Amino acid sequence: MSIGKYYFEITRIEHFRDKCMACVCCVEIAPEFWKMNADDGRCDLIGSYRQANCYELKIFEDEIYKN
């Protein structure tokens, strides 16, 4: 009996924080990826890093549906 290998590509989420409406939808849908920032009321993408004009988080394709 052999076990098949699964291959998941890595994709990314880009969060343009300056355009956040603070509607909390992302936190409601995927709290493991998003949290509200108490200082300004906008959402933060947990574990992301700052790019030129956005925050970026690399995720596996099977995590896309959570966002």
Does 6 or 46 have the greater pLDDT score? 46
* Residue 50, C-beta contacts closer than 8 angstroms, at least 6 positions apart: none
Cα dist. 33→1, 27, 28, 37 in Å? 37, 8, 10, 13
pTM attached to this predicted model: 0.78
* Residue 67: closest CA among 16, 17, 32, 20: 32
Class for domain 10-66, per CATH? Answer: alpha beta
pLDDT tens for each residue of 19-56: 999 999 999 999 999 999 999 999 999 999 999 899 99
pLDDT level of residue 62 (50, 70, 90 thresholds): confident
**pLDDT of 65:** 81
pLDDT level of residue 7 (50, 70, 90 thresholds): low
Task: Parse the chain into domains and list their residue ranges.
Answer: 10-66
